[in-house]
Amino acid sequence: MTWRLTLYTRKECGLCEEMKAAVHSVARDIPLEIEEVDVDQSADLKEQYGAKVPVLLINGRKAFKYRVTVRELKKKLS
């Protein structure tokens, strides 16, 4: 099974970079489809998320906000 992850981020966001690193680390061991979405590229997303990023969705459902560790993500996907 391939998991579909959507990561809502923005540029120059330290927490976003941390979450991206965790997601890409997990992707080395588990098949993932990863979509990164910059919320600042859409007025609707910017309004919806504001400064409340990063947010990680797994198969369309919100799974993590602000922080996730490799261990937590692997557990969620198992």
Q: What is the pLDDT along the chain (78 residues), one digit of tens a residue?
A: 789 999 999 999 999 999 999 999 999 999 999 999 999 999 999 999 988 999 999 999 999 999 999 999 999 999
Non-local CB neighbours of 44 within 8 Å, separated by 6+ positions: none
At 21 the pLDDT is: 98
Q: Exposed, middle or buried by CB within 10 Å (0-12, 13-18, 19+), for 63? A: middle
Alpha carbon distance 24, 16 (integer Å) = 12
Alpha carbon distance 42, 68 (integer Å) = 24
Where exactly are the structural domains of the chain? Answer: 3-77
At 2 the pLDDT is: 85
At 37 the pLDDT is: 97
3-77 CATH pick, 3.30.70.1230, 3.30.310.80, 3.40.30.10, 3.40.640.10: 3.40.30.10
At 1 the pLDDT is: 76
Q: What sign does the CA torsion over 24, 26, 29, 33 have? A: negative
